Amino acid sequence: MTRSEENYIKTIYHLGDAGMHSVPTNAIASQLKTQPSSVTDMIKKLSDKKYVHYKKYRGVYLSEKGINAALTIIRKHRLWEVFLAEKLGFNWDEVHDVAEQLEHIKSEKLIDKLDAFLNFPKYDPHGDPIPGKNGELAQRSLQLLSSLQPNDEGICVGVKDSSVTFLKFLDKHNISLGDHIKILDAEEFDESLTIQIDNKNLHISKRIATNLFIKPVRE
Amino acid sequence: MTRSEENYIKTIYHLGDAGMHSVPTNAIASQLKTQPSSVTDMIKKLSDKKYVHYKKYRGVYLSEKGINAALTIIRKHRLWEVFLAEKLGFNWDEVHDVAEQLEHIKSEKLIDKLDAFLNFPKYDPHGDPIPGKNGELAQRSLQLLSSLQPNDEGICVGVKDSSVTFLKFLDKHNISLGDHIKILDAEEFDESLTIQIDNKNLHISKRIATNLFIKPVRE
DNA sequence: ATTTATTTTTAGATTTACCTAAATATATGA
DNA sequence: TCATATATTTAGGTAAATCTAAAAATAAAT
């Protein structure tokens, strides 16, 4: 597989939610910052090589073979992210670009040894699960904000209660999906939390904390 | 710089003894396993970009800019070799191919952090010096076999006494340039050594040991 | 010093991964 | 449903790095 093929497959995997559904040409193009016509070209090639199923004008979705290929690349990407963050001291926002390059290094032995060196981590520094050698994927470790301890960190990935009132509350306090949250303090009395979000501190009630899904950062 | 340009520059550096003299087209072609005509093409490009000096039919040699570029690549290559051997437990003969890929990763920060992580090594697992951030190159650490301690290892890189008798001796005992030697034991009485070479043990006198140059492995 | 052999370069193709512009298919909306 | 908008594909082209085959320059050998 060429580097470019790998990038397309990874993109299709992500955009199609792990190969669940098909992905339109334009989505791939804008993600990879290429022209739609280039995507069509590559899709044909990937289809010839049986990595994707393709019907003209109907988008693509990954085949079994394509999903496995994607998982292999993602495994490499996330292992390198752990290495960069944990061993070399990169910040968790700096790891991505370099991992994007490292994920294309071809050596199974290298990845296995790296995996062992890092002590077989299950999650990358963003909290995303690292696929195993055989493609098995740990459950994404979703937790409620209320279950975290002081000093734990995570990313806001969803809400349990999606009522308008709750969402308005989040909006008012500038809490949005993808925000990085750190627990500063937990009040035993009412189980309220002091959290740091966007470099600002915020005190939230138990009620709020039990309705926010968090993806813990660094397992 | 493209990956291909980097490979050419590195090759020209090595074949031309660190940029000392010019390198014929064919030598580059056979080293890189391409056709001479491809080399001519690339040479023109590198010449346009001022990495090499080029006169038709006269071979190429590296410019100042080219030498610096080469040193940067070699620095990356050798640091990765140390990482692979020391941290991941690769054998010293397995590191080259993977390092060949890793050397093309583009991130100055990555290399600096890797350098620090490895504790600023001066030599790679083959005993070759690692260029510094500013291109300074440590002296290749040549030592006489007689100066090593038990458990030290090295590669046979030259002889001090090049008399016929000595060379015949080496031949007879199957000692040749590039051989990997490990000191097993040193006899205090006559300063003779027991060494392991090619998986065979050999007992040699002080006289012999003081006439063999060794490049120590893992400084 | 010529001929012969070797090395290097030119000329013209090929492949990969792009691109632009035009054509066509699908989706949307009055 | 018919016109319009949007998405996708086709057609034809480009740049990088390679190739083969032929031409030209240099080196070697008688």
Neighbours of B2 (CB within 10 A): 10
Per-residue pLDDT at B214 = 87
Residue A32's identity, in one-letter code, is L
- Looking at residue B168, its pLDDT comes to 84
Task: List chain B domain ranges.
Answer: 3-62, 143-216
Contacts with A35 (C-beta within 8 Å, 6 or more apart), sequence order: A29
Superfamily of segment(s) B143-216: Ferrous iron transport protein A (FeoA) (2.30.30.90)
B189 Cβ contact list (under 8 Å, min separation 6)? none
The answer, yes or no, to whether residue B189 has pLDDT greater than 90, is no
Structural tokens at position A157? 């990935």
Does the distance separating the beta carbons of B98 and A110 come in below 8 Å?
A: yes
B89: left (phi over 0), alpha (psi -120 to 50) or beta: left
Confidence of residue B219 (pLDDT cuts 50, 70, 90): very low
pLDDT at B154: 85
**Percent of the residues in chain A that have a pLDDT greater than 70, as a whole number:** 95
Q: Which of residues 73-102 of B touch A (CB under 8 A)?
A: 84, 87-90, 94, 97-98, 101-102
Q: How far apart are CA B160 and CA A48, in angstroms?
A: 62
Q: How many CA atoms within 13 Å lie on the side-chain side of B158?
A: 8
Question: To the nearest whole percent, how much of chain B has pLDDT over 70?
Answer: 95
| CATH class of the domain defined by A3-62 | mainly alpha
> What is the nearest nucleotide to A1, using C1' and CA?
C16
CA of A60 to C1' of D10 (A): 18
Query: CA B32, C1' C14: Å apart?
Result: 20
Contact flag B109-A89 (C-beta cutoff 8 Å): no
| Average pLDDT estimate for B61-75 | 96
pLDDT in tens, B112-148: 999 999 999 988 877 688 999 998 887 766 778 888 8
Which of A 97-126 lie inside 8 A of B, CB atoms? 97-98, 101-102, 105-107, 109-110, 113-114, 117
Distance separating alpha carbons of residues B219 and B212, to the nearest angstrom? 18
Tokens 């001066």 correspond to B122
- Placement of tokens 């290298």 in the chain: A110
A169's torsion region: left (phi>0), alpha (psi -120 to 50) or beta?
alpha
Indicate whether B163 pLDDT > 80. no
Beta-carbon separation of A94 and B109 below 8 A: yes
- Output the distance from A42 CA to D6 C1' rounded to whole Å: 22
B3-62 and B143-216 share one fold: no
Query: In angstroms, rounded to a whole number, what is the distance separating the alpha carbons of residues B95 and A11?
Result: 31
Nucleotide nearest the Cα atom of B40 (by C1'): C9
The yes-or-no verdict on residue A150 having pLDDT over 90 is no
Comparing A47-61, A112-126, B31-45, the range with the smallest average pLDDT is A112-126
